[in-house]
Amino acid sequence: MLRISGGKVYDPANGIDGVVKDICIAGGKIVPDVNAPGSPEPRSGEGGRTIDATGMVVFPGGVDVHTHVAGGALNFARGLVPENHRAARKFLHTPERRAGLGGMTPTTFATGYLYAGMGWTTVNEAAVPILSARHTHEELHDIPLVDKTTLVLMANNEIVMDLLEAGETERARDVVAWLIWAAKAYGVKAVNPGGVAAWKWGKNANALFQPVEGYQQVTPARIISSLASIADDLKLPHPMHLHCNNLGLPGNFTTTIETMNVIDGHRAHLAHLQFHAYGGDDWSSMRSESARVAEAFNAHKHLTTDAGAVLFGDAVTITADGPWQHLLHQLTGRKWGNLDVENETGCGIVPYVYKDRNLVNAVQWAVGLELLLLIDDPWRIFLTTDHPNGACFWRYPEIIQLLTDTEFRKAQVKQLPAKAQQRVVLADLDREYTMSEIAIITSAGPARSLGLSQKGHLGPGADADVTIYHEKPDDGRLFTYPRYVIKSGEIVVEDGDVRATTAGREFVVHPTCDNAIEEYLRQIFPKIYTMSFDNYPVEIERLRHAQIQPCQ
């Protein structure tokens, strides 16, 4: 039994907002406090350790709904940016810790240390092609301290698209279900629907209602609505996770709002909304359209999103959105990596620097914050930077500071180029996030969106993932260095140092499908893939700490 005593508890999922109360932990779970007044069987001297959390705040462990921490694309990016590794924070080998490097694309072990060191205990790797799922799970196994989920890339999968073209929606549903389990994934990711398939013809899919290159019937809108309905149909705990078309382009907010209308009636999560809320006709006239995007989003109650906020400084852009990455490479002249993942997807990598003197970058910086402030329900927008695209995840505390301190934020807006200040509305926003709202956008909200009922709260039965911060830290910036991080009931971080490294679990789903679908895939597979069908699915034994979440 571990008791956290005297801390101010923020547990918005259970309606607790800054109440001083004890949290008790046993067997890796939160348990009822037997010493609480009115408890049925008061006991004393239960034994075990007590953490004195007086003067501290107690949060449920952070949950990252959209990040890129493992897999073929990230590993390619690691290889592409050796200059970042030299500048990165070093993790020297210690008895508790493996060696590694932080930076833009941290090594596997360091990823776990950095996330847990900041108080985050669950992460969602948001883009996995089935063909590199095995590799991804091997890397995830080496990310200690945090629990993981993965989303499998589906919106440019040619088997699925061919079935949609032929109008075989039922079979498409079974294929998606089979592929999710084959990849041992947790949900469906859609990246630039149709655009990456078109990229193989040197094209993109910029219009939602025009057929994708190589197809007559299939349009991006069709792919989006089909996948959203399939995800709902399969009762996946997390809905379709969508990276909309036209990411990063001036004027793309219309596509984003159209997309919301296309999804209408289904659940969906719109990833990194910041990259999809721009107005203007070209780079010189680009401006923020966060107000209109937020207004549309506020009206679509079945959607969730994450910020994908940008911070000034170095980043590495990694995405399955191959055509966009090629454009970014042409815009910046920086080095470019491109991967072709057979029939499934593509991938592009371009190192990038967000500069505060740059008009476009300044608008991007503002848009991420504006969306966080203009979307009124914190249960529907979550804190992310689309790591490592907008900034590294270990810079989240900087965004929290911008959200909780209006004066500081406004002072930062004044530093932007005058031209950029006219293109954004951030200076007019006075909203200040409360502690409880921070707990929602960093933990309770994303956990609910991911359908992980055991995460993101501190009620009895929840996983004992708890982060305890000083209420008034010495450097004035809350959430940078947790005093304690508890993962599954074990104290893993104390005063910013990793004390113990436990392995994290991997949550997967096993949606039901017609068993005949395997035979169907087995027939067509040798004609279109370079590997044998029997080697294609990842065996469940490969995942050493797998836990199957129900589809209900």
Partner 1 sequence: MPVTLRLKEPPPVPLEAETLTTDATALLSHADIRALPVNLGKRQRRLDDFFDVDGERSDEIEIHGDATRVKWIGRGMTRGRIVVRGNAGMHLGSAMKGGAIVVDGDVSDWLGAEMTGGSIHVHGNAGGQAGAAYRGSLSGMRDGTIVIDGGAGLEVGMRMKRGLIVVRGPVRDFAGLEMKGGTIVLAGGAELRTGAWMVRGTIISLMSIQLLPTFSYACTYNPTFLNLYAKQLASLGCHLPLDDHEGGYQRYTGDTCVPGKGELLIWKPRA
Which residues bind to partner 1, rule: CB under 8 A? 80-84, 86, 92-93, 99
Q: In the complex with partner 1, which residue's Cβ is closer, 101 or 303?
A: 101
Q: In the complex with partner 1, which residue's Cβ is closer, 91 or 394?
A: 91
**Residue holding tokens 């392995």?**
503
Task: Name the 3-class secondary structure at 113.
Answer: helix
In angstroms, what is the minimal distance from the CB of 80 to partner 1? Answer: 8
Give the helix, strand, coil percentages of the chain, each rounded to 5.
35, 25, 40
CB 129 within 8 A of CB 72: yes
Of 385, 444, 351, 449, the closest CA to residue 151 belongs to 449
CB 210 within 8 A of CB 171: no
Q: In the complex with partner 1, which residue's Cβ is closer, 105 or 150?
A: 105
CB 1 within 8 A of CB 436: no
Q: In the complex with partner 1, which residue's Cβ is closer, 259 or 317?
A: 317
Whether the bond between 193 and the residue before it is cis, its omega within 30 degrees of 0, is no
In angstroms, what is the minimal distance from the CB of 43 to partner 1? Answer: 48
Q: Which two tokens stand for residue 55?
A: 């003067």
Q: In the complex with partner 1, which residue's Cβ is closer, 80 or 403?
A: 80
Single-letter amino acid, residue 412: Q
In angstroms, what is the minimal distance from the CB of 276 to partner 1? Answer: 29
In angstroms, what is the minimal distance from the CB of 8 to partner 1? Answer: 39
In angstroms, what is the minimal distance from the CB of 205 to partner 1? Answer: 32
DSSP string, 8-55: EEEEGGGTEEEEE--EEEETTEEE--TTSTT-SS--S---SEEEE-TT
Contacts of 5 (CB under 8 A, 6+ apart): 22, 50, 51, 52, 53, 54
Q: In the complex with partner 1, which residue's Cβ is closer, 21 or 334?
A: 334
In angstroms, what is the minimal distance from the CB of 475 to partner 1? Answer: 23
| Number of alpha carbons in the 13 Å side-chain half-sphere of residue 45 | 0
In angstroms, what is the minimal distance from the CB of 351 to partner 1? Answer: 8
